[in-house]
Amino acid sequence: MSAEWPLVPVEDACELIVDCVNKTAPVVPHETPYRMIRTTNIREGRVNLESCRFVDKETYEKWTRRAKLQYGDVLLTREAPIGEVGFVDEPRGLFLALQLHI
């Protein structure tokens, strides 16, 4: 570990930590402005939006009532596979399916 990067608890390095609701949102069979990010969308520091599933506005509002993604947020997967990280650079209409939002 470099002396330039101190080891600190994650809660000391974050403004807000929000976990998902631990179930899968109901999806719709057509494109909408509201996309669900799954662990499969987070790889190698990026959030890939190509295979997102879509939900309606009501579902999006319900699932983002605790917090909405913002530019610069970092997503950490906690399963399948654990430990992948993704930087959010286009948050509009996105929400988390089963990831930890930090």
Instruction: Answer with the residue of higher pLDDT: 60 or 99.
Output: 60
pTM over 0.85: no
User: What pLDDT is stored for residue 78 in this prediction?
Assistant: 78
**Residue 69 to residue 57: CA distance in whole angstroms:** 15
Residue 75 near residue 101 (C-beta atoms within 8 A): yes
pLDDT beyond 50 at 41 = yes
pLDDT of residue 99 exceeding 60 = no
- One-letter amino acid of 67: A
| pLDDT score of 20 | 63
Q: Are 26 and 59 in contact (CB under 8 A)?
A: yes
User: Strands 34-37 and 82-87: what pairing?
Assistant: unpaired
Average pLDDT score, the chain: 85
